[in-house]
Amino acid sequence: MSPDSQYAERRRGLQGPELQSLLRRGWAPMPQKTIVTLVLSGLRVRLMRSVVTMVSIILAIAFLTYMGLSQFLYINVARDAEQRGDYTPVPADQVRAAAMDLAQRDIFTGLSVEQQQQIAEDLGYGNVDQQIAERADLRNQRRAAKETLEKSKTKLNTVNENPKALAGDKIAARKRADDAQTALIGIDAEITALSIQIDLGQWMQRGDRYFDQDLERLNELLAAFDAEAADSASRSQRRDVEAARKEGNSRAATAKSIESRDHRKQTMPAILLTTLTRHIHNPANLDQPGVLDIVHTPSRLEDDQFQQLSVILDTAEQQGHTGAALATLREMVRQEQHKRDARQMLTMLRRANINVQELLSGQDAMGAWLIFMALLTCTVGIANAMLMSVTERFREIGTMKCLGAQDWLVVKLFLLESGFLGVIGGAIGIVLGIIVAFVGALIQFERFGVTNFPYQVNQALLVIGLSVLAGMVLSVIGAGYPALVAARMQPVDALRVEE
């Protein structure tokens, strides 16, 4: 028998179980590297399906990471607020004595004018635009108060001239006139004080150039007054004089303004020192007390005054004023800052609908439910994607089984494919979840979100490790049923499917 005849006879003899056994022996020793290469090739061929599956994994793991980090963030913020609010307050009498002791010390005199200007800016002086707007509002109030005063005086004169007027009507009219006069005097005092602050702020910003420019303008106005009588007076000069007269400025008033401005220019450093001194201790004015006058009741301090107190203490320490008084005020500032921070953090937690007691006791049912829903969504999404993958590959599975591929190999291919998608999608999802969690912490808790973000190794590694493990395990679980369906298919049934 020729070799060709022997080969043909041999090929005809390999049928049924013998052929299947021979083919299986060819699949059995397949190296792991070859199997991995086969899986990666399949992912590249079905790229769009692989991307859709990976996106579902990325979103689920990102949400899982976000929820885990957010839970730790809420716990850290709640614990931080609890720790900040746990302190023994400094007695008010001790704080008052320390404030009076510091108020008696001259902490600004030894500073240069430039240093005093810098401290004044730190204390809130120099915001000229806002002060000019406030002065404009006060001037509008002054006009209204002046009209009210004139009406009150007219009413008072009418009542006094009426012989039939009752004594009670006269007393009421007198009281209204006096109240209107008092209100007008108060507004005038506020305008005067605000004008000095504006001069002070503009002087701090532009130095003596502010007064030099103003003096130059007033001198030009005086020259316009002098030139008015001359035939050679220009139209612009006459226009300036008419505008000045409409504002009520005569030549004598303008000259007096020049003298006042020149005086302020010479005395501005003294005004600055007086302003700084009254800012910290002003017992003569109960309406505008100094910062140290109300420090024994910290709740009365506004946020800007609280920051100003820190500036005052820093200045006193730089000037060499140390001792028990400064230490007492420092401790009070620290406690009050912690108290306000704790109150702000608790408000932010309530705004986020977080029950602090349940959170600290580990009974946050809502957080656990959201994490469970994330896991369920991930599992369902992966299972759906893998089932679609099996449906699309019926003929491929049938061909592999006809060539002798065993059930375990088909299961292994599907599980490896889902494992690769789980690892890559889990890694991307973790990065995305961390970014979203950090941005959310910054928006929700501002600076407290940055300081209380779960940077700790035990918290961060726990969330990241669980997310990676969840991505792999859920991918494998989600692909388990589709892989078994594919492995149990009969080759003849798979090959009948129309593509």
What are the C-alpha distances in Å from 21 to residues 11, 179, 395, 402?
14, 113, 21, 11
- The torsion angles phi and psi of 289, rounded to 5 degrees, stand at -70, 160
- What the block records as the tokens of 461 is 């590694």
Has this prediction a pTM greater than 0.95?
no
Q: 32-45 and 47-84 are packed helices; what angle lies between their axes, rounded to 10 degrees?
A: 100
Residue with tokens 């030099």: 212
Q: Would you state the pLDDT for residue 304?
A: 75
What pLDDT, on a 0 to 100 scale, did the predictor assign at position 9? 45
CA distances from 212 to 90, 194, 244 (A): 51, 21, 20
Q: Which two tokens stand for residue 86?
A: 């746990």
pLDDT of residue 14: 43
pLDDT confidence of residue 137: 92
Write down the pLDDT at residue 31. Answer: 63
**Can you give the pLDDT at residue 435?**
92
Report domain extents, the chain: 18-85+358-496, 92-325
Q: In angstroms, rounded to a whole number, what is the distance separating the alpha carbons of residues 161 and 152?
A: 14
At 436 the pLDDT is 92
> Cα–Cα distance between 467 and 483 in angstroms, integer?
23
| Per-10-residue mean pLDDT, the chain, length 499 | 48 49 53 69 72 79 84 88 84 85 78 78 76 88 91 87 81 89 88 79 70 62 59 57 61 63 66 74 65 76 77 81 82 86 88 78 70 72 68 71 72 77 82 91 89 80 77 70 72 63
What's the Rg (C-alpha) of the chain? 42
